[in-house]
């Protein structure tokens, strides 16, 4: 359920980031890829791949591209992220940063591969790939920071400190 | 009934292959996706909100930048305004001085020949009862020359340098002038001080308050007929009638004065 909510929020962000009045660099960010990363925590690599497939297809649809290459690359990205996260037991901020970098890089490379093999002229070049990877990794960093802050806020240590301060 | 069981990973691969084929088909027969349009329509409020946020940020940013610019511009304008204000003050003073000078020349046409218009550089009407002028010997100002303001006689030059002169006002305690009250044939001596008064008039001389007092020229400094002031209530003290005089010229307001040629040089 959480993943579904995250998916919808990420899709909304994906569309919202392309708003004309926002900083144009934000459009390179792919929040849906972070959903794939998030799924790697609770799902097996195959499950993450399925979620990646859905996210990729949603990306294709939302971006007005040919439907398919995004789904394939998303599925591959989900599988890769899932495998790497499990293999290296990534946790904490590293999980988000490495996961988002990996998801963005894998997704973009495979998308390019699929697009080239289909003979389609891609809608962005290498600079776009780099921007996507950078912005998605930056978004991962933000999520990691947010998660850390939330964890610190909810930590039993903080609760104990507050309790001691009251007495 | 046979049940088709498919491994999840295999199903995923098959689906991906299907997607690839579907994508290839789309490339062959390109047509717009209604799904994309639907997604965009569904998320239109998100775009509107994002645009509002971006627009708000743009406005804030532009506002900040404009604020800094405005503050700088305001500082510049204030400095400029201050400079203009000073310049305006100087011009106003200059204009007033010129006007006074012009009035002086118009008021005393008979004595203006050989007279020197001088600007009051500084004044002390409280302690030393004197004015400093910006004209001196080099400009034709001579010692003991009578000095006129627009309303009447101010005093005489008691010190002169090449490019400056000092005027002893009639309010100076040591100042004195031979004067005549209009309507009377007798002369008197105007003695300076904070309350200048005419002395040496015969006792019980009847003087109407408000009568004009003019210089008689007997002391050899002031030309005859220059307005000195008006009389106040006269009184007899001892052997003389004392007539206080309200001086016509107001030294605190004089900016430009007319310095007449010394009486000895002027042919009556």
Which value does ipTM take for this structure?
0.79
> Which tens digits make up the pLDDT trace of B16-55?
888 888 888 888 776 656 666 677 777 788 888 888 888 7
Which residue among B8, B19, B54 places its CB closest to the CB of A72?
B19
- pLDDT band for B267, please (50, 70, 90 cuts): very low
Average pLDDT over residues B123-151: 84
Domain count, chain B: 1
| pLDDT at res. B109 | 75
Is residue A46 within 8 A of residue A79, CB to CB? The reply is yes
Average pLDDT over residues B203-208: 85
Secondary structure class of A44 (helix, strand, coil): coil
Q: Which one, of A143, A145, A144, A127, lies nearest residue A25 by Cα?
A: A127
Is residue B148 within 8 A of residue B249, CB to CB? The reply is yes
Q: Using the beta-carbon criterion (under 8 Å), do B43 and A11 form an inter-chain contact?
A: yes
Query: Is B54 an interface residue toward A (CB < 8 Å)?
Result: yes
Domain count, chain A: 1
Is residue B104 within 8 A of residue B150, CB to CB? The reply is yes
Secondary structure class of B31 (helix, strand, coil): coil
| pLDDT at res. B83 | 92
Residue of A nearest to B33 (CA): A64
φ, ψ at B254 (rounded to 5°): -75, 125
For all residues of chain B together, what is the average pLDDT? 82
CATH code of the domain covering residue B235: 2.40.10.350
- pLDDT band for B268, please (50, 70, 90 cuts): very low
Q: Which domain holds residue A127?
A: 2-19+26-166
Residue of A nearest to B46 (CA): A16
> Which residues of chain A have a pLDDT value below 50?
none
Q: Using the beta-carbon criterion (under 8 Å), do B51 and A64 form an inter-chain contact?
A: no
Is pLDDT of B4 > 80? no
* Contacts B20 to A, Cβ<8 Å: 68-69, 72, 114, 118
**Mutation choice for B interface testing from A64, A113, A116 by most B CBs within 10 A:** A64
- Establish if B218 belongs to a structural domain: yes
**Torsion angle in degrees (nearest 10) through CA of A23, A11, A146, A28:** -40
pTM over 0.90: no
Is pLDDT of B127 > 80? no
| pLDDT at res. B48 | 84
Q: Which domain holds residue B235?
A: 176-248
* Contacts B49 to A, Cβ<8 Å: 16
* Residues in a beta bridge with B229: B213, B247
CA distance B120 to A99: 88
Give the count of Cβ contacts less than 8 A between chain A and B.
Answer: 95
Percent of chain B with pLDDT over 70: 91
CA torsion sign, B173 to B174 to B175 to B178?
positive
Is residue A138 within 8 A of residue A26, CB to CB? The reply is no
CA distance B48 to B50: 5
Q: Using the beta-carbon criterion (under 8 Å), do A16 and B46 form an inter-chain contact?
A: yes
Is residue B206 within 8 A of residue B184, CB to CB? The reply is no
- pLDDT band for B9, please (50, 70, 90 cuts): confident
CA distance A68 to B56: 37
CA distance B135 to B156: 14
Q: Chain A neighbours among B 2-41 (CB < 8 Å)?
A: 8-9, 12, 15-16, 19-20, 22-24, 26-27, 30, 33, 35-36, 39-40
Only one residue has tokens 């940020």, namely: B57
Secondary structure class of B109 (helix, strand, coil): coil
**H or E segment at A103?**
helix A92-117
- Establish if B60 belongs to a structural domain: no
């Amino acid at each position: 359920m959480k993943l579904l909510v995250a998916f919808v929020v990420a899709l909304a962000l994906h569309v919202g980031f392309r708003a004309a009045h926002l900083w144009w660099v934000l459009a390179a960010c792919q929040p849906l890829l972070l959903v794939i990363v998030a799924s790697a925590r609770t799902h097996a690599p195959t499950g993450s791949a399925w979620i990646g497939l859905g996210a990729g297809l949603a990306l294709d649809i939302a971006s007005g591209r040919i439907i398919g290459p995004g789904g394939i690359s998303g599925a591959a990205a989900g599988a890769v992220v899932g495998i790497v996260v499990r293999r290296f037991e990534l946790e904490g901020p590293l999980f988000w940063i490495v996961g988002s970098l990996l998801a963005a890089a894998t997704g973009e490379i495979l998308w390019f591969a699929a697009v080239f093999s289909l003979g389609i002229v891609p809608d962005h070049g290498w600079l776009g790939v780099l921007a996507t990877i950078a912005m998605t990794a930056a978004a991962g960093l933000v999520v990691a920071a947010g998660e850390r802050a939330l964890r610190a806020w909810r930590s039993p240590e903080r609760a104990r400190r507050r309790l001691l301060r009251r007495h | 009934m046979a049940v088709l069981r498919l491994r999840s990973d295999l199903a995923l691969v098959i689906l991906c292959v299907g997607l690839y084929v579907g994508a290839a088909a789309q490339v062959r027969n390109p047509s717009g996706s209604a799904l994309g349009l639907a997604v965009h329509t569904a998320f239109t409020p998100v775009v509107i909100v994002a645009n509002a946020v971006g627009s708000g940020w743009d406005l804030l940013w532009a506002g900040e930048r404009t604020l800094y610019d405005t503050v700088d511009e305001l500082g510049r304008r204030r400095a400029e305004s201050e400079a203009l204000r000073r310049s305006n003050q100087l011009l106003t003073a200059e204009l007033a001085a010129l006007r006074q000078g012009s009035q002086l020349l118009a008021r005393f046409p008979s004595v203006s020949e050989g007279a020197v218009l001088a600007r009051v550089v500084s004044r002390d009407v409280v302690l030393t009862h004197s004015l400093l002028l910006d004209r001196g010997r080099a400009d034709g100002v001579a010692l003991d020359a009578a000095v006129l303001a627009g309303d009447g006689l101010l005093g005489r030059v008691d010190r002169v340098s090449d490019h400056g002169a000092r005027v002893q006002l009639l309010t100076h305690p040591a100042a004195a002038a031979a004067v005549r009250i209009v309507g009377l044939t007798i002369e008197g001596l105007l003695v300076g001080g904070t309350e200048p008064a005419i002395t040496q008039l015969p006792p019980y001389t009847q003087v109407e308050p408000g009568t004009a007092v003019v210089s008689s020229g007997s002391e050899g400094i002031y030309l005859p007929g220059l307005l000195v002031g008006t009389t106040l209530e006269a009184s007899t003290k001892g052997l003389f009638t004392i007539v206080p005089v309200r001086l016509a010229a107001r030294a605190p307001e004089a900016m430009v004065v007319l310095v007449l040629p010394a009486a000895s040089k002027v042919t009556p």
